[in-house]
Structure 1
Amino acid sequence: MEAIKKIEIVTNSLEITKVLEILEKVGVSGYTVIEDVTGKGDRGKVFNDLETHALTNGYVMSVCTHEQEQELVTAIEPILKKFGGVCIVSDAKWIAH
C-alpha cells in the first residue's frame, strides 16, 4: 500500500467544473463526483428540491500525493471563500492494482 492524501470537496455545483480543472492542472489522475448533495454548513442548509441547479452543491472525492496536496488546497481555497463549501484532506492508503 502507498500513503496518499484523500481530498473531499463540497462546493456550489456551478463551481465543480473549476474544481475538476484544478485537479487536472495539479496532475491528479482521477476523481468521483456526486451531484446534488445536501447538508448544513456555516451558510445554512442546502436542499436538493430547488428549481435551479445553481443553488445546489456537489461533492468531489479524489486522492493525491503529499507533494500535490498544498498546491491543490491553495488553488481551491478561493472557490470555497467565494461560494462556500469545505475541503477535507485526510491521510489514506492506496491499494495498487
Structure 2
Amino acid sequence: MNAIKLHPLKKLEIILAGEHKQFATDLLSRAGVKGYTIVGNLSGKGNHGMYEGHLMFNEDDALIMIIAVVPKDLADALLDGFQPFFDAHSGVIFVSDIQVCRPTKFVAAYPYEMARSQS
C-alpha cells in the first residue's frame, strides 16, 4: 500500500472588513500566492462584542476571511506586508502549521521552493 506523502506549509487565515478585500487579494497576488479562498459574511465575537454578518445589500460592511496556503518564507513576507495595514485597520491573521498531499497546488516552483523553505 502506498502512503500519502505530506509536505509542510503554512495556512494564513486573514480576517478583515470586506471593503479591504481588493487590497488583500492584490497583495497576495503580487507576492505570488497561487490561489486562495474567500469566505464572506462572517459573524463572531471579538474585543468590541458580537459582530453579525450582513447577508444582503453590502458585502463591503461584512467581515471576510481569506485563506491561503504558502511556504514558510512566503508566509513571513506576507505578514511583513500586512503589518502596516493592520497597524491602521481592524482585523487579524491566524497562522497555522499544516501538511498537504499535493504541494504543487500551493507552491509555484515545487520542489525547489519546498526544499528552500525547509532549510
TM class by shorter chain equals 0.7 to 0.9
Gaps of 5+ in 1: none
- The aligned length equals 97
CA offset at residue 21 of structure 1? 0.9
Which residue, out of 49, 63, 68, partners 1:62?
A: 68
Larger Rg: 2
Q: What's 2:28 paired with? A: 23
Gaps of 5+ in 2: 1-5, 105-119
Say if 1:7 and 1:62, in contact at 8 Å, map to a contact too.
yes
CA offset at residue 49 of structure 1? 4.0
RMSD across aligned C-alpha pairs, in angstroms?
Answer: 1.8
Which residue, out of 89, 96, 101, partners 1:83?
A: 89
Between structures 1 and 2, the one with greater strand share: 1
What is the SS of the residue equivalent to 2:38? strand
What is the SS of the residue equivalent to 2:53? coil
Q: 1:7 to 1:49 in 2, by over 3 A?
A: closer
Q: What's 2:111 paired with? A: none
CA offset at residue 30 of structure 1? 0.6
Q: Hey, what's the Cα distance between the residues in 2 that align with 1:19 and 1:43?
A: 23
Q: Hey, what's the Cα distance between the residues in 1 that align with 2:49 and 2:87?
A: 15
Q: Hey, what's the Cα distance between the residues in 2 that align with 1:92 and 1:75?
A: 21
Q: Hey, what's the Cα distance between the residues in 2 that align with 1:43 and 1:25?
A: 32
Say if 2:13 and 2:68, in contact at 8 Å, map to a contact too.
yes
TM value normalised by structure 1: 0.87
Q: Does 1:47 align with 2:39?
A: no
